[in-house]
Amino acid sequence: MQDRFLKSVAKLPEPLATAIVPILNKDFAGHIDAQQLEQLQTASKMELNELLLALLPIAAALARPPISDFHVGAIAKGKSGDIYMGANIELPGEALFHSVHAEQSAISHAWLSGESIIEDIIVNASPCGHCRQFINELVEGAKVNIHLPLQKVEPLSHYLPYAFGPSDLNITEPLLTKQQHTLTLDSNDPMIIEGLDHAGLSYAPYTKTYAAVVLETKDGATYCGRYAENAAFNPSMQPMQMALSTMARHNRDFSEINRAVLIESSKGVISLVGAAMDALHSVAAVELEHIVVEPE
Ligand SMILES: O=c1ccn([C@H]2C[C@H](O)[C@@H](CO)O2)c(=O)[nH]1
Ligand SMILES: [Zn+2]
């Protein structure tokens, strides 16, 4: 089991702790598939909703909050039945808007893993307004069930009545709708090829700035983030933040970043390069490679 989970596992009821230890092996990065979840349910004799709440300390152990020391853990449950953990990240010395909320981290984890509908979000602290908005931007967002430790399960619409969302800007395909934008560049650099794929899957209906970030560590492992825009603009999740959140879930230190690439479409009305550089430089002494690609 990874050391970062020792304290959280110690707090779990014994049968659940015993059953989860093998899952928390060195490769664990916050994903528990439907079959494993069923095994945990059998072993712990817990109702599914009870089990999901019991798993939150594991999700919270993924957090990196050097400013607040407030560890938030969230779980997004996809239509497939798999669950995806996420946690908050704060960037040392940088403006607070660079922070990633646990709910965004869990949602982006599900999205990067190919989920097209998120049915439930489980979180250990009441979701802030920004997260309620982010959830409302998803496919069937108003219907996402919100699970909190001391509250009965309610759909997002209970927590965010009279909501603003993509339809107010005449966007009919919300976040998580399959994207396929063609960005091609003649390159045989594996990091750039990976980045082009992710940029093509990014979600940017308001600016068309399709973008992705790929971070590489010295051992050759790569961690990706795609741009996820919001109709409410400010809660949009930057590709650098999403990539850092992927790295944190994989238990990698940001100082291990060896190479960082931002790919973005030349036809977008904004550029994410300044924001991406600020975020990157707060955690790693690496220059950002900025690659601008002509969409087809
Ligand atoms: O809904 C919320 C509210 C706050 N936080 C994080 C952001 C920041 O890192 C810390 C303090 O606000 O908690 C979340 O992850 N989700
Ligand atoms: Zn929040």
- 3-class state of residue 119 by DSSP: strand
Ligand number nearest to the C-alpha of 134: 2
What is the C-alpha end-to-end distance of the chain, expressed in Å?
Answer: 46
Average pLDDT over residues 261-276: 98
Angle at 101 between CA 100 and CA 104, to 5 degrees: 90
- How far is residue 126's CA from residue 128's CA, in Å, rounded to a whole number? 6
Give the model's pLDDT for residue 28.
98
Q: 226 pairs with which residues across the strands?
A: 212
DSSP H helices, the chain, are 6-10, 14-20, 34-44, 48-54, 56-60, 102-112, 129-136, 156-159, 190-200, 239-249, 273-283
Q: What is the ipTM of this complex?
A: 0.99
Dihedral sign for Cα atoms in the order 208, 175, 62, 34: negative
pLDDT digit string, tens, across residues 131-184: 999 999 999 999 999 999 999 999 999 999 999 999 999 999 999 999 999 999
Give the model's pLDDT for residue 225.
98
Positions at the binding site for substrate: 88-90
pLDDT digit string, tens, across residues 7-17: 999 999 999 99
Q: For 193, phi and psi rounded to 5 degrees? A: -60, -45
Tell whether the model's pLDDT for residue 104 goes beyond 90: yes
Angle at 164 between CA 210 and CA 227, to 5 degrees: 15
Average pLDDT over residues 92-120: 98
Catalytic residue selected from 14, 47, 94, 103: 103
**pTM as predicted:** 0.98
Positions at the binding site: 88-90, 101, 128, 131
The CA radius of gyration of the chain, in Å to the nearest whole number, is 19
How many CB atoms sit inside 10 A of residue 115's CB?
A: 20
Quickly state the pLDDT bin for 296 (edges 50, 70, 90): confident
How many CB atoms sit inside 10 A of residue 213's CB?
A: 30
Give the model's pLDDT for residue 126.
97
pLDDT digit string, tens, across residues 269-282: 999 999 999 999 99
Do residues 237 and 204 lie in contact, with contact meaning Cβ atoms separated by under 8 Å?
no
The answer, yes or no, to whether any atom of ligand 1 lies below 6 A from the CB of 101, is: yes
CA 190 and chain centroid, separation: 23
> How big is the chain, counted in residues?
296
The answer, yes or no, to whether any atom of ligand 1 lies below 6 A from the CB of 65, is: yes
Give the model's pLDDT for residue 295.
86
Give the model's pLDDT for residue 285.
97
The answer, yes or no, to whether any atom of ligand 1 lies below 6 A from the CB of 49, is: no
Determine whether 103 is an active site residue: yes
pLDDT digit string, tens, across residues 185-235: 999 999 999 999 999 999 999 999 999 999 999 999 999 999 999 999 999
Nearby residues of 288 by Cβ (< 8 Å), 6 or more positions away: 260, 261, 262, 273, 276, 277, 280
